[in-house]
Structure 1
Amino acid sequence: MTLSDDLNFAEHGGEFGPATPESPVIFGIAFTPKIIGILVGVIGLAGAGYILLNLLMPALESYQQQQAKNSELQGQVDQKKATIKQIDKVKDELAQAKQQNVQVLGLFANEKTLDTLLLDVNRLVESANTSTSINTVRAKLKKFVPVSSKPEPIIDGSLGLLVNGKLQRSSINAEITGTYEQTQSIIRNIERLQPLLIIKDYQVSSVPLESRSPLDKTPMPVGPGAIDTSFQLQVLMPLTPEEIAAAAAKLAPVAPVAPVAPVVPVVPKK
């Protein structure tokens, strides 16, 4: 290159003066729009990660804890509802048991029915007499005697161990006379009485009906023979709570007393 060329280049230098960079340069790196976009993206991702770690994650953890607490509370509510339903069910079962208890107790006798039992049995015996002929046997109540003056608690297991200490009975020795058909009808009607009764020690003996001829005084059987029937009538009655407690005390086993060892005197040796 010649000097003239250098001069010419210098002269034209004002035309190609110092170029103004299109992108800023920091630490020797030109921040072009592409690089700026990448940096903005990286900063955005970092900011999103920061927000995720410091804001969203605690909120999510708090939400999960709240959901677990809500589930626990809902479980407690459901359990209480189930308990309330069970209580209502138990109350209904208790009411039904009480109603059944009243119905069962209604089958047993009481002091009132015991007082009128003689009249009831005598009425049943008289109702078996359907004919008024003089040659027909008339049913009759010949005996009705209580065994004891007051009912006694059942503690001997005669009606089962579950009944011990819960019922009492009054025993009555009875005897009726009548034909077989009359006796059968009377016994059936006694069993149909409202109070619960037990017939024990049933014994039957036949008594032929005889009539003497007015001419030769010879005994002659006339009509069906009579039957004497004896039995024990047991009337069952429930015990009161106080009487049940007293009967339970009688049934409670008594603890054996340990024998006392005899005291042997010690003789000193000489």
Structure 2
Amino acid sequence: MTLSDDLNFAEHGGEFEEATPASPVVFGIAFTPKIIGILVGVIGIAGAAYIFLNLLMPAWESYQQQQAKNTELQAQVDQKKASIKQIDKVKDELAQATQQKVQVLGLFANEKTLDTLLLDVNRLVESGNTPTSINGVRAKLNKFVPVSQKPEPITDGSLGLLVDGKLQRSSINAEITGTYEQTQSIIRNIERLQPLLIINDYQVTLAPVESRSPLDKTPLLVGPAAINTSFQLQVLMPLSAEEIAAAAAKAAPVAPVAPVVPKK
């Protein structure tokens, strides 16, 4: 072999080295560093996606469920707190309503005040008298007669439909004698009595003038003339729960009964 042949062999050997690939080849694809880097990146992304889908997503969904549960429980707690506050408010309103009911019921009469009403009215009439001359007009109670023995429930709408079947009244026919000033003062004092009273059928007539003495029939008028004042005094009293139920049942209209037609 000559030197030229050796040189040619060296040249051919260099070509062989250049033709030999430096990267591994799989299925005809040369895995260069760039391709390997891309594959590693893809594998990393796929692994991250796998971890996200299989590990992080269930954990995130569980967190969301716990968060929703906590929100719901907090809403229930807030609702219960609001209910407790509402209960306290209702209790306060109930206590206030009960107190107002007691105050309102105190304005009405009862059996005790009805029994002492005659004494109260007579005391008011006598309080209108002042020390005067022997010929002065002296106020007095001429008549105090109850219309009925027992109070009657109010169902005629005379005091308004809202109180029908809830109140009862006892009517008393009364008559007093006195001057105009005395009568006015007595009526005002009667209206100021604690039980709630209504004065109806107010009528006034001039009272006959008293004589000088049993032997002298000549009328003697000294000072203001006396007048007779008659009126009906209505005493209002609340009905009990049982009496309200009985009055409602009594006032309820009775349904007509259909006639029975005999069968042929």
- Range of TM-score over shorter length: 0.7 to 0.9
Q: Residues 261 and 25 from structure 1, CA distance in 2 versus in 1: closer, same or farther, beyond 3 angstroms?
A: closer
Instruction: Summarize the alignment of residues 221-232 of structure 1 with structure 2, pairs less than 5 Å apart.
Output: 221-232=221-232
- Report the equivalent of 2:5: 6
CA distance in 1: counterparts of 2:217 and 2:143, whole angstroms:
32
Contact persistence 1:208–1:224 (CA under 8 A): no
For normalisation by structure 1, the TM-score amounts to 0.83
Within 5 A, what are the aligned runs for 1:33-182?
A: 33-182=33-182
Structure 1 residues 217 and 205: CA distance shift in structure 2, 3 A: closer
More deviation, 241-250/90-99: 90-99
Partner of 2:240: 240
Alignment of 1:204-215 (within 5 A): 204-207=204-207, 209-212=209-212
Rate the CA distance shift 1:53–1:263 in 2: closer, same or farther, 3 A. closer
Counterpart-to-counterpart distance in 1, 2:263 and 2:48: 99
Aligned length: 260
* Alpha-carbon shift at residue 29 of structure 1 (Å): 5.1
SS of the residue corresponding to residue 141 of structure 1 reads strand
Structure 2 matches for 1:257-268, cutoff 5 A?
257-261=257-261
Query: CA separation of 1:23/1:83 partners in 2, compared to 1, >3 Å: closer, same or farther?
Result: farther
CA distance, structure 1, for counterparts of residue 130 and residue 166 of structure 2: 41
| Corresponding letter in the other structure for 1:25 | P
Would the aligned equivalents of 1:209 and 1:224 in 2 still touch at CA under 8 Å? no
Structure 2 Cα separation of the partners of residues 165 and 217 of structure 1: 55
In structure 2, what is the Cα distance between the partners aligned to 1:96 and 1:11? 119
Q: Which runs of 5+ in 2 are unaligned?
A: none
Equivalent position of 1:190 in the other structure: 190
Deviates more, 1:41-50 or 1:229-238: 41-50
Gaps of 5+ in 1: 265-270
Distance in 1, matches of 2:47 and 2:185, equals 106
Distance in 1, matches of 2:102 and 2:243, equals: 18
The aligned amino acid for 1:91 is K
Deviation for aligned residue 1:9: 6.4
Distance 2:143 2:41 in 1: 119
CA distance in 1, matches of 2:100, 2:224: 46
Q: CA deviation at 1:120?
A: 0.6
Instruction: Give the secondary-structure state (helix, strand or coil) at the position aligned to 1:162.
Output: helix
Which residue identity does 2:24 align to in structure 1?
A: V
- Per the normalisation by structure 2, the TM-score is 0.85
Q: Deviations over 1:157-205 (max 9, x none)?
A: 2222221221111111111100000000000000000000111111111
Match of 1:175, SS state, is strand
1:58 Cα offset (Å): 2.2
Matches within 5 A, 1:243-258: 243-258=243-258
| 8 Å Cα contact 2:177-2:207 kept in structure 1 | no
Task: Check 1:131–1:52 CA distance in 2 against 1; reply closer, same or farther (3 A cut).
Answer: same
Three-state SS of the structure 2 residue aligned to 1:103 is helix
Q: Distance in 2 between matches of 1:185 and 1:153?
A: 31
**1:65 offset after TM fit, Å?**
2.6
Q: CA deviation at 1:217?
A: 7.0
